[in-house]
Amino acid sequence: MEHTEQSRSGRKAGDRGVAARARAAIRDSGLAQREIAARMGLDETKLSKSLGQTRRFTAGELLALASLTGVTVDWLLTDDHVETGVAAPAEGLLPGTHDESDAHALRRRTIVEHAWRLFAERGLSGVRISDIAEAAGVSNASVHYYFSSKQDLFAEALPYSVKLAFDRQSAELPQISDPVERLRTLIRMQLPTDDIVRAEWSIWMQTWVSVVLTGDEQAQHSGSYQRWWRTVREALADGQASGAIVDDGLDGLTNALTAFVDGLGIRVLTGLITTEDMTAQVDHFIERFLLAERKNP
């Protein structure tokens, strides 16, 4: 009973922290609370209850709130950096913050989000500043006010993708106690099965090409990819600790799984296989080569 009461007390304390940080995020977002609720597709009364600690945010709501306000789900959930099984990006690998008003921060986020979508759909060379301005509902001059060039704006595309993936993982993975299910969920949420994740893959592929041709994105790409690699490694390590994942070299297993996912993702985006094919092949890989009970029956 004592443990149960302590757990309940801990949850309530956590809820208070999440609610307080959510209120701060909304306050500093440049958006009114009712507009936040509308963009989240959430009844404003439900949002008010969550902010007042009489209702808990769902994982999807935390993800939407983080996206709209520019904070991370990790920040919303805790400011103590507790272990969540999700590797945090190194400093400088998330969208930049600036000393500016809430209105300017909101406009900057809006421009980056629309530019990110256009770059993902058309590629860097296929997008003009005027296209970005039109999509974001601002003038060309406004885009140039925040970003000196199209290349400068494209440099924000990968950090934005990293934030989306980090938020998605932070919202979902800590709630899953079974290490194998957590590993499966981690991999599945990174498969290009919807428009958002396909766009993330597009930005990654364009960054890979840029690294190969010019080396300009090398440091940013390396640091961002290592965050994903470390998250996979932590999931595999938890599986090994439970006896569910084969007792092979952890780095080797991580390299094999991430390389397999990378290769299949490229095949999906180039039309060689379907997302259903990729999902089935990843599941088969995990069962055939990673699960201890399958490899050593």
Residues 6+ apart with CB under 8 A from 265: 191, 192, 201, 278
pTM for this one?
0.85
How far, in Å, CA of 35 to CA of 178, rounded? Answer: 37
**What is the number of residues in the chain?**
297
Kindly state the tokens that stand for 62. 């935390």
Q: What is the mean pLDDT of the chain?
A: 88
CB 187 within 8 A of CB 286: yes
pLDDT at 172: 92
The CB-side HSE value for 285 (13 A sphere, CA atoms) comes to 19
CB 210 within 8 A of CB 154: no
pLDDT at 9: 31
Domains belonging to the chain, first-starting first, are 1-82 (1.10.260.40), 83-295 (1.10.357.10)
pLDDT at 3: 33
Sign of the CA dihedral running 133, 139, 141, 146: negative
How far, in Å, CA of 247 to CA of 128, rounded? Answer: 51
Residues 6+ apart with CB under 8 A from 272: none
> Which ranges of the chain does DSSP label H, i.e. alpha helix?
2-27, 33-40, 44-51, 59-69, 73-77, 102-122, 129-136, 140-146, 150-154, 157-172, 179-188, 195-213, 218-242, 250-269, 275-285, 292-295
Phi/psi at 291 (5° precision): -75, 130
pLDDT at 83: 57
Residue pLDDT, tens place only, 51-86: 999 999 999 999 999 999 999 999 998 754 445 678
8-state DSSP, 175:
G
Residue pLDDT, tens place only, 236-266: 999 999 999 999 999 999 999 999 999 999 9
Is the model's pLDDT at 4 over the cut of 60?
Answer: no
Residue 70 burial by Cβ neighbours in a 10 Å radius (0-12, 13-18, 19+): buried
Is the model's pLDDT at 10 over the cut of 90?
Answer: no
The three state secondary structure string of 31-99 is CCHHHHHHHHCCCHHHHHHHHCCCCCCCHHHHHHHHHHHCCCHHHHHCCCCCCCCCCCCCCCCCCCCCC
How far, in Å, CA of 184 to CA of 239, rounded? Answer: 11
Residue pLDDT, tens place only, 149-180: 999 999 999 999 999 999 999 999 988 999 99
